Amino acid sequence: MLAMIVGAGTPPLQQQINKLVAEDLDYLLAFYKTRHQNPEISLQEKETAATLANELRKTGFEVTENFGGYGIVGIYKNGRGPTILYRTDMDALPINEQTGLPYKSQLTTLYNGQETGTMHACGHDMHMTSWLGTARAMVKLKDKWHGTLMLIGQPAEEIGAGARMMLEAGLYQKFGVPDYGLGLHCSPTIETGKIGIGKGYTMATTESVDIIVKGVGAHGAAPHMSIDPVVTASMMVMELQTIVSRNLKPTQSAVVTVGAIQGGIKHNIIPDKVTLKLTVRTFDEEVRQMVHKRIEEIAYGVAKASGVPDDLLPEIKFPEEFTPANYNNEQLVDDITAAASRAIGSENVEYAEPQMVGEDFAMYGHTPEKVPTVLYWLGTAPIERLQSGNIPGLHSPYYYPVPETSLQTAIRVNTRTLIELFGKKQ
């Protein structure tokens, strides 16, 4: 598919980009496989960050390390012009890889006191490699653009902390407020060689909410002497499901999922406490506040109906900090769509519908400066996988992108987009 894009009538600029990407592919594939084999989980990205920093320095960037944790900032000044931020995330997940790839991860780490495997099951290794490939191509094509390219290597995306860490460290104050912010994310459901992009809200606000359900413990054979928090918590779980189905307008979107119920230690002991762990996903702030209100009403109402006294009412913990919904600037989406169509063909640029996953890339456009940002989806799935219907999703121990075509697509789209955006504000 990608080979067909380079042919008669291809603009000279795109021919140059394609040639550079092809020439760099072996180097980048080796880099990608090394990163895949050496994943580091959130807040432990020391070697990954050092490797990326070294690569940027070799390419000609001025690099600042350990900025907001293990974050790195690479600056390439190429005359007067706009400043454009392009971010990659760096962290991996505590997952035992099951792909069977010859370059599969063999590393383990301690996570919550237990030894587990580590894996780039969310495609951050692909993100880093296409980021590096784009940096190398942009420097080689520096006669085609003018301005400042700001490359961000961000830690701790998987725990929703890294972007905030870098912004609170003074990213925009020290390096300048960018005119645009760009990023990509691997998609397990879009064919490799293509990208997906959408306007407006494309990813959700994500919050983790804890409900500590209290009661009165007793012997399992004497439930009448208890106020059973297991039963109370079970009723809450069922009632929480009515928030989306009965309190939201059908045209509004939200997710309220109870991902964990923790309580009790033995078959015949009724405990005095159960903890519910929820993930809440919304796009709209008004909807978010309404969901919070209903969680409180349901938790307190069910507890009172179960006979829980006022001094043992549930404790509800809403997070003080959370990942906001990702909003793709509409004009910037149009610009990227046009550039991507010239890079890989319009038939390979798809509309991507909003998803309830979260991404802290949203933070870069959520500051008082209101930087226009776009996060688009990079197709990574072979057509055979899609046709089979056996599609491992992100965070699956079986997920992996097709390296060659995915890399080429990302770097072609990124490089063409950046060059055109730099020219837009001359």
Locate 244 and state its tokens: 């989306």
**Residue 417, H or E segment:** helix 403-424
| Phi-psi region at 112: left, alpha or beta (left = phi > 0; alpha = psi -120 to 50) | left
Domain formed by 205-317, architecture: 2-Layer Sandwich (3.30)
At 74 the pLDDT is 98
Distance CA 127, CA 272 (A): 46
At 343 the pLDDT is 98
HSE, side-chain direction, 13 A CA sphere, residue 19: 10
At 3 the pLDDT is 43
The one-digit pLDDT tens for each residue of the chain (426 residues) are 444 444 444 569 999 999 999 999 999 999 999 999 999 999 999 999 999 999 999 999 999 999 999 999 999 999 999 999 999 999 999 999 999 999 999 899 999 899 999 999 999 999 999 999 999 999 999 999 999 999 999 999 999 999 999 999 999 999 999 999 999 999 999 999 999 999 999 999 999 999 999 999 999 999 999 999 999 999 999 999 999 999 999 999 999 999 999 999 999 999 999 999 999 999 999 999 999 999 999 999 999 999 999 999 999 999 999 999 999 999 999 999 999 999 999 999 999 999 999 999 999 999 999 999 999 999 999 999 999 999 999 999 999 999 999 999 999 999 999 999 999 865
Kindly report the CATH number that applies to the domain delimited by 2-202+325-424.
3.40.630.10
Q: How far is CA 281 from the centre of its chain?
A: 14
pTM for this entry? 0.93
CB 3 within 8 A of CB 345: no
Can you give the length of the chain in residues?
426
Q: Name the β-bridge partners of 151.
A: 74, 86
**Residue 388, H or E segment:** helix 383-388
Q: Name the β-bridge partners of 270.
A: 218
Distance CA 221, CA 259 (A): 29
Beta-carbon contacts of 156 under 8 Å, excluding residues fewer than 6 positions away, are: 42, 43, 45, 69, 91, 162, 165
At CA 170, angle to CA 133 and CA 289, rounded to 5?
A: 95
Nearest Cα to Cα of residue 137 among 255, 19, 11, 30: 19
- Ranges of beta strands (E only) in 271-361 are 273-282, 315-317, 326-328, 349-351
At 152 the pLDDT is 98
CB 329 within 8 A of CB 372: yes
Beta-carbon contacts of 317 under 8 Å, excluding residues fewer than 6 positions away, are: 209, 210, 211, 212
At 11 the pLDDT is 60
- 7 class by beta-carbon count within 10 Å (0-12 exposed, 13-18 middle, 19+ buried): exposed
Distance CA 264, CA 275 (A): 10
Residue spans of the domains in the chain: they are: 2-202+325-424, 205-317
